[in-house]
Amino acid sequence: MLMFREPAIVVNFKTYLEATGKRAVELAKKAEKVSHETNVYVAVAPQLADLSAVAKAVEIPVFAQHMDPIKPGSYTGQILAESVKETGATGTLINHSEMQLKLSVIDELVRITRRNEMVSIVCANNPTISAAVASLKPDVIAVEPPELIGTGISVSKAQPEVVAGTVKLVRGVNKKVTVLCGAGISRGEDVTAALKLGTQGVLVASGIVKAKDPYTIMREFAEAMKR
Amino acid sequence: MLMFREPAIVVNFKTYLEATGKRAVELAKKAEKVSHETNVYVAVAPQLADLSAVAKAVEIPVFAQHMDPIKPGSYTGQILAESVKETGATGTLINHSEMQLKLSVIDELVRITRRNEMVSIVCANNPTISAAVASLKPDVIAVEPPELIGTGISVSKAQPEVVAGTVKLVRGVNKKVTVLCGAGISRGEDVTAALKLGTQGVLVASGIVKAKDPYTIMREFAEAMKR
Amino acid sequence: MLMFREPAIVVNFKTYLEATGKRAVELAKKAEKVSHETNVYVAVAPQLADLSAVAKAVEIPVFAQHMDPIKPGSYTGQILAESVKETGATGTLINHSEMQLKLSVIDELVRITRRNEMVSIVCANNPTISAAVASLKPDVIAVEPPELIGTGISVSKAQPEVVAGTVKLVRGVNKKVTVLCGAGISRGEDVTAALKLGTQGVLVASGIVKAKDPYTIMREFAEAMKR
Amino acid sequence: MLMFREPAIVVNFKTYLEATGKRAVELAKKAEKVSHETNVYVAVAPQLADLSAVAKAVEIPVFAQHMDPIKPGSYTGQILAESVKETGATGTLINHSEMQLKLSVIDELVRITRRNEMVSIVCANNPTISAAVASLKPDVIAVEPPELIGTGISVSKAQPEVVAGTVKLVRGVNKKVTVLCGAGISRGEDVTAALKLGTQGVLVASGIVKAKDPYTIMREFAEAMKR
């Protein structure tokens, strides 16, 4: 099964009602349609309660939004990597700016995903933090300035220096890691700008989930990636 | 659908591998068998990633192990009541000693479950904390001394004063709430002792999940409830 | 030494620069002056780094803003009751809405303060939470609706039902505990209203710390208490 | 005033009763004596409630054990850099393994200390995390394997590869940062080993605070540094 491929579009469903339960499955199917039509890598990150239903319904990669740094055992209410893996999920977001983690926990989660043959996408708020994350050797780093999340003001257009600076600092530490950017990405030209600045894709949420026609926006993003 | 009924056995699957993925569904079916055979209320609390599969597979009530005090929106990696509800789950554990919460969060979660017509089972470490929880008016309070959890030393046999004291203090504040006890419950006589001390049932985990033959133990628990 | 007496004015210095370092000592001396002139109980809660200097400089009771539920030992960066006690402090705020704690931690801190012969002032966001706290038997409960904190809109004038409801619910559980109210208290008439609603005093912060003339406002508060 | 100098001994007082209140001042004076006699840099990190008293009593550098990433304002119970600075403290420990922080908070605290002209000592559990921290450009990194803390089994003797590996990985990212090691350091030869492995000093706690004769041990450590 396809784990990860550049360039990539990763759609975070957050806890939007538009992407909860049945509607999570429907949105994931639209993402799958775009991926099949354009041959661009599109992955989705639904809520945990929807993970197995979504993973069963689509062939594109499915990510958890979070996992906890635990082993099987006496933990209640925490998210075990093995339980995520068994749903058919490909990997997990780690340290999203809405779920920020201790440094030692990020380190542990990167190791846990690797051990479970899952893909780790670690989020970072700025270039310096992205460089720090690069030393932990995740598969993917996604830089997202928190102040732009959900605004529709694209990081790649409004703060190109953040994106370019992240690519530069990360490459100084780690040549292999994939770099995505996110926050405010809502049009094809935002995606084009992101790629020009040296990233290998985008992490998006409201720009797609809250769009009137998510299919058309995802298609626009994917087309921008093919140019 | 049956929401809650006394006396009750609630089985917390925690993050035990013996109760993850397919094995969560299998264990839930055994619980359902016991419930059907004995007409005793048996509910299960699997991991979140297994919630929808378990809720689809059985007719007995299914609980989440935890929820977050959020509304639909821009939250990543958190657990939305609406997503839990849509899996078919009946309610949720709140404030388990392995997932302890801020007082204001417990208050909010009790309100959220009520608003979503779900059953709230709030855990408490000792009689005083149980009395505090009683003011929040959850559906169920489960007292569990953390030092006995997972030991096989039953709270109802080893610390009867904790169980009786909880019932007394809770009743001083709230006449209606159901009181369960947990920690170390592993034999039918532990259940009998719990009921004699004034509780309306038990919250159990390793005593069943880690048992060689969980069906037989659950059956023994249920028989003890019928006496 | 005077521990606690009703009616009471407790001034939380928060982390305002106007009440940091030397200025913490100066503000505490103004509070002491008001207390001496009016014979009303006025206590101050400076930042931890200022606690010993303030406690040495004034004779009125001094409170910590927070403590951690730890025993002496291998803890770094946490706040040990014994270290607070040795500065000469009288007690501590617990669970302020800007430092909300787990329910079990509040329970533990109330026990720790009692064991160390210190006064516990537990904050609560609403009447229900106040009632829950009452079961833990702290010395003082201070109800403060978070949405009014720092607004200058007095809880006792804008939400009298919150204050009266708290007094009623708390008294149903605990006859002895002192009840204060806070949030937006900025004039003498706010204090008068608070007492009429059944409280035994106020917890204030910006209304005094950020005032042009803190002495005059504290004096006004104290005079309102004598009526 | 002396901020930082290599090689360095930093003594973390934790929340040991042996180093609380008056005894914190006494221990700090012993550290000062050793520093004056040997001309080796010795710094102490007492509890926050003791910070101002210790900083007034000795001329050697004094560190906080923790600070919070806040600005002056409406925060209760948190530790403001400005309040720490005003006690006369030189800097702060950040992210001790007993007070682990979110990655973004560590980043922010390093910036806050720099802006306040204070020295940042960031702790890390292992070489990989140390390398990540190096990207944040603190003044000092202290690697401490949590499993050895408080054991008396010295990291520099028992896990030399951890110390050497940290130095190597950190230097790959950051040439300037000072590297200390800690955990189990209790004899002069542990210090000698630490320096030979490429560090510029040690972070110690129980090895000194719990020693029968802390002065003699600190003196032994300092002599080992002069060789």
Residue D151 and residue C209: Cα distance in Å, rounded? 46
- Say whether A144 is catalytic: yes
Q: Which residues of A touch B147 (CB under 8 A)?
A: none
Q: D53 near D25, Cβ under 8 Å?
A: yes
H helix intervals, D123-210: 127-134, 155-158, 160-173, 188-196, 206-209
Residue B157 has pLDDT above 90, yes or no: no
Residue C45 and residue A105: Cα distance in Å, rounded? 35
Q: Smallest Cα–Cα separation from B47: which of A58, A90, A52?
A: A52
Here the ipTM equals 0.95
Q: Which chains touch A (3 or more CB pairs under 8 A)?
A: B, D
CA distance D49 to chain C (A): 6
Residue A148 has pLDDT above 90, yes or no: no
Residue B1 has pLDDT above 60, yes or no: no
Amino acid (one-letter) located at C182 = G
Residue B116 has pLDDT above 70, yes or no: yes
Mutation target to probe the B interface, by most B beta carbons within 10 A, among A10, A18, A25, A48 is A48
Q: Which residues of A touch D147 (CB under 8 A)?
A: none
Residue A160 has pLDDT above 80, yes or no: yes
pLDDT digits (tens, 9 = 90+) for C166-190: 999 999 999 999 999 988 889 999 9
Q: Do chains C and B touch (3 or more CB pairs under 8 A)?
A: yes
Residue D195 and residue C78: Cα distance in Å, rounded? 30
pLDDT at D1: 58
D158 touches chain C (CB under 8 A): no
Quickly state the pLDDT bin for C147 (edges 50, 70, 90). confident
Q: Which residue has the tokens 């003082």?
A: C140
Residue A35 and residue A43: Cα distance in Å, rounded? 9
Quickly state the pLDDT bin for A1 (edges 50, 70, 90). low
pLDDT digits (tens, 9 = 90+) for A84-105: 999 999 999 999 999 999 999 9
Q: Which residues of B touch C125 (CB under 8 A)?
A: 104, 107
Residue C139 has pLDDT above 60, yes or no: yes
* For range D95-102, the mean pLDDT: 97
Instruction: Point out the catalytic residue in the list C32, C66, C144, C220.
Output: C144
pLDDT at A7: 94
DSSP string covering B86-147, please? HTT--EEEES-TTS--BHHHHHHHHHHHHHTT-EEEEEESSHHHHHHHHTT--SEEEE--GG
Inter-chain residue contact A102 with D102, CB threshold 8 Å? yes
Burial B46-76 (b: 16+ CB within 10 A, else e): bbbbbbbbbbeebebbbbbbbbbbbebebbb
Residue B96 has pLDDT above 90, yes or no: yes
Looking at per-residue pLDDT, the higher value among C169 and C148 belongs to C169
Instruction: Point out the catalytic residue in the list B26, B86, B96, B223.
Output: B96
Number of H helices, E strands in chain B: 10, 8
Burial level of C223, CB count in 10 A (0-12/13-18/19+)?
middle
Q: Which residues pair with C64 in a beta bridge?
A: C92
Inter-chain residue contact D74 with C48, CB threshold 8 Å? no
CA distance D87 to chain C (A): 7
- Cα-Cα-Cα-Cα torsion A144, A145, A150, A154, nearest 10 degrees, comes to -80
pLDDT digits (tens, 9 = 90+) for C71-106: 999 999 999 999 999 999 999 999 999 999 999 999
DSSP string covering chain A, please? -----SSEEEEE-TB-GGGSTHHHHHHHHHHHHHHHHH--EEEEE--GGGHHHHHHH-SS-BEES---S--SBS-SS---HHHHHHTT--EEEES-TTS--BHHHHHHHHHHHHHTT-EEEEEESSHHHHHHHHTT--SEEEE--GGGTTSS--HHHH-HHHHHHHHHHHHHH-SS-EEEEESS--SHHHHHHHHHTT-SEEEESHHHHTSS-HHHHHHHHHHHHH-
Q: What is the largest CA-CA distance in chain A?
A: 50
Residue A150 has pLDDT above 90, yes or no: no
Residue A41 has pLDDT above 60, yes or no: yes
Q: Which range among A29-38, A159-168, B84-93, D6-15 shows the weakest confidence by mean pLDDT? A: A159-168
Quickly state the pLDDT bin for C117 (edges 50, 70, 90). very high
Summary mean pLDDT of chain D: 95
- Say whether B36 is catalytic: no
Report if pTM > 0.90: yes
* For range A159-180, the mean pLDDT: 93
Phi and psi at B143, nearest 5°, equal -90, 130
pLDDT at C1: 57
pLDDT at C155: 82
CA distance B227 to chain A (A): 31
Token pair for B136: 């929040």
Residue A145 has pLDDT above 90, yes or no: no
Phi and psi at D68, nearest 5°, equal -105, 155
Q: Smallest Cα–Cα separation from A134: which of D132, D171, D170?
A: D132
